[in-house]
């Protein structure tokens, strides 16, 4: 595609589906690639497919991926001049970005200053408010200041306590009464310190029936373009499981308003690279800034499919100093896309994590179907990493068709050896409230009674049990070793 040299070599500082996704972008641009892997990922597709692959070491797989010194040493050794952090791990670590810069290596993302500004919930809120964009009612005085509790309680309940340095749904708790407030604040501060090394928390009004709507932006330092919104209200434990674009809640006027607000926030920050501005959208049509994620997001494919844009390619071009290849006028919304996150978990039993081994995998295919996965046969699924295994994205002319396509493809997907939430996702997609677009972040709890496992009818149960017996290794062995003459006599156990 490109004859210009953007980078000599780019290291992908991640694993799983997103590492493979970024590798596709590098291949598209003809940029040599380096994968890094912990021993447990030795046989993963990105390790086999990248031009080079280097093992990284650490007390745990995650610790290895967070070891910036080790990664920078690999960059120097192999002549890497760009690092794509993907999401998670070092993707929003300003010090990593600075350390790379000191070594003449480009961090493929926004500047360290913007990562810091947006990475702190208090400073980002203040920044957004100062530039005239709406933020939720909140109290952000020090928790030990006199009158804090009264001030907070005066906002009304429920409230949400957030770790200032938290994000991605981690470090949040809901408070329903003044009685709970003091202990929640204490626990939240101690957790915030433990997980984020920063004990500051702040408290804001919690909107129970609100939607989570976010806007994709991409900027090159001079221009910011938005790529519409994503509706991400279907969440469990504050983690998204189904996302779609566009949101069924917005009309064109509201869409323009919220997307312009997001682009305005990114412009105020002189934003470079791809980023996401998250909003809370109330059922009365108000919206408030929640946070800005300064990275490529898990759910970026729904935007890519609706706008026919390659966000990773844009990130790589911009990081190499090129201007945006798109303009606000050139991007056109097209159809509807729905993404389902396939997770190793017992969704019908408190979303408890599941482990296992991928014994057999058949990925769904078809027109408008994208299956972003780093799965491979023989892979051990452990609790070392996030439970998300893969993403299924279906694009279709209408929302109803995209939903029907997702259901169809979730049924077509065969993954044996580890239990997933596929059946649960189907239950959500089939739910009348979801189909009508009537969703909010409480959906999973509100409809918990509907989102239960279907019981098997007796014929299905007999088919399952017969299939189990006939595929049981021991039984197959017995049947193969039994001369037909005995088998034909009748009951084996007479």
Interaction site with another protein (CB under 8 A): 356-357, 359-360, 362, 410-412, 414-417, 419-420, 422-423, 426, 456, 459-475, 477-479, 481-482, 484, 486-493
Q: Is 190 left (phi over 0), alpha (psi -120 to 50) or beta?
A: alpha
DSSP code of 261?
Answer: H
**Rounded distance, CA 247 to CA 333, Å?**
12
CB 231 within 8 A of CB 245: yes
Helix (H) or strand (E) run with residue 307 in it: helix 300-307
N- to C-terminal Cα separation, the chain: 71
Least Å distance between CB 388 and another protein? 17
The two three-digit tokens of residue 311, written as one number: 């966000």
Give the nearer residue to another protein in terms of CB position, either 194 or 462. 462
The residues, ordered by sequence, that sit 6+ positions from 109 with a Cβ below 8 Å of its Cβ are 85, 91, 97, 115, 273, 294, 295, 315, 319
- How far is the C-alpha of 452 from the C-alpha of 434, rounded, in Å? 15
Nearer to another protein, 256 or 416 (CB): 416
How does DSSP classify residue 455? P
Q: Could you give the strand order of the β-sheet that contains 239-245, starting from the edge strand earlier in sequence?
A: 287-293, 272-281, 211-220, 224-236, 239-245, 336-343, 388-396, 369-373
Q: Which is nearer to another protein, 319 or 428 (CB)?
A: 428
CB of 402 to another protein, least distance (A): 18
What's the alpha-carbon Rg for the chain, to the nearest Å? 24
Spot the catalytic one: 211, 236, 295, 341: 295
For another protein, the closer of residues 142 and 416 by Cβ is 416
- Other C-beta atoms closer than 10 Å to the C-beta of 141 total 14
Residues 6+ apart with CB under 8 A from 62: 89, 384, 385
Nearer to another protein, 253 or 489 (CB): 489
CB of 465 to another protein, least distance (A): 5
User: CB under 8 Å to 65, separation ≥6 — which residues?
Assistant: 13, 14, 15, 36, 38, 56, 58, 89, 90
Distance (Å) of CA 292 to CA 127, 200, 410? 11, 18, 31
Q: How far is Cα 384 from Cα 215, in angstroms, rounded to an integer?
A: 31
- Taking the least distance from each CB to another protein, the nearer of 54 and 241 is 241
Comparing CA positions, the residue from 296, 289, 2 lying closest to residue 125 is 289
Q: Which of helix, strand or coil describes residue 249?
A: coil
Q: Whose Cβ is closer to another protein: residue 326's or residue 380's?
A: 380
Active site residue 295: yes
Judge whether 35 and 52 are in contact, CB under 8 Å: yes
> 383 Cβ partners below 8 Å, 6+ apart?
353, 355
Q: Are the C-beta atoms of 15 and 44 separated by less than 8 Å?
A: yes
Cβ nearer to another protein, comparing 187 with 475 = 475
| C-alpha distance from residue 455 to each of 119, 423, 460 (Å) | 45, 12, 10
Instruction: Write down the residue that tokens 């976010």 correspond to.
Output: 214
CB nearer another protein, residue 241 or residue 249: 241
Residues marked active site are found at 295
């Amino acid at each position: 595609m490109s004859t210009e040299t953007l980078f000599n070599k780019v290291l992908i500082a991640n694993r799983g589906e997103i590492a493979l996704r970024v590798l596709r972008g590098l291949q598209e641009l003809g940029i040599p690639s380096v994968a890094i892997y912990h021993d447990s990922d030795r046989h993963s597709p990105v390790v086999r497919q990248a031009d080079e692959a280097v093992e990284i070491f650490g007390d745990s797989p995650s610790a290895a991926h967070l070891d910036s010194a080790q990664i920078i040493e690999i960059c120097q050794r192999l002549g890497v001049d760009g690092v794509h952090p993907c999401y998670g791990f070092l993707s929003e670590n300003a010090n990593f970005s600075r350390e790379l810069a000191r070594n003449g290596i480009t961090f493929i993302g926004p500047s360290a200053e913007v990562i810091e500004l947006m990475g702190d919930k208090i400073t980002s809120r203040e920044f957004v408010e100062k530039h005239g964009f709406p933020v939720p009612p909140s109290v952000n005085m020090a928790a030990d200041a006199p009158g804090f509790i009264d001030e907070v309680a005066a906002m009304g309940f429920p409230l949400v306590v957030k770790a200032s340095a938290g994000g991605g749904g981690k470090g949040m708790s809901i408070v329903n009464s003044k009685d709970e407030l003091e202990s929640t604040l204490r626990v939240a501060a101690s957790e915030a310190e433990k997980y984020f090394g920063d004990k500051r928390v702040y408290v804001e009004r919690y909107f129970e029936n609100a939607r989570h709507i976010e806007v994709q932006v991409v900027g090159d330092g001079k221009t910011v373009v938005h790529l519409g919104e994503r509706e991400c209200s279907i969440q469990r434990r504050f983690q998204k499981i189904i996302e779609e674009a566009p949101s069924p809640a917005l009309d064109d006027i509201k869409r323009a308003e919220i997307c312009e607000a997001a682009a305005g926030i990114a412009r105020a920050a002189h934003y470079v690279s791809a980023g996401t501005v998250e909003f809370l959208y109330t059922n009365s049509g108000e919206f408030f800034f929640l946070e800005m994620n300064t990275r490529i997001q898990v759910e970026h494919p729904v935007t890519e499919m609706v706008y026919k844009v390659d966000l990773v390619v844009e990130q790589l071009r911009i990081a190499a100093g090129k201007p945006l290849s798109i303009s606000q006028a050139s991007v056109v919304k097209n159809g509807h896309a729905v993404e389902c996150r396939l997770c190793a978990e017992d969704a019908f039993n408190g979303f408890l994590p599941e482990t296992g081994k991928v014994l057999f995998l058949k990925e769904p295919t078809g027109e408008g179907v994208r299956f972003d996965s780093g799965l491979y046969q023989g892979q051990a699924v452990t609790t070392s990493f996030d439970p998300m295994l893969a993403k299924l994205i279906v694009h279709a002319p209408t929302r109803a068709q995209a939903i029907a396509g997702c259901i169809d493809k979730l049924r077509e997907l065969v993954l044996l050896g580890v239990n997933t939430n596929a059946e649960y996702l189907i239950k959500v997609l089939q739910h009348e409230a979801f189909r009508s677009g009537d969703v909010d972040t409480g959906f999973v709890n509100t409809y918990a009674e509907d989102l239960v496992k279907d019981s098997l009818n007796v014929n299905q149960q007999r088919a399952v049990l017969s299939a189990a017996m006939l595929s049981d290794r021991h039984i197959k062995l017995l049947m193969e070793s039994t001369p037909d003459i005995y088998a034909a006599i009748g009951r084996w156990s007479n």
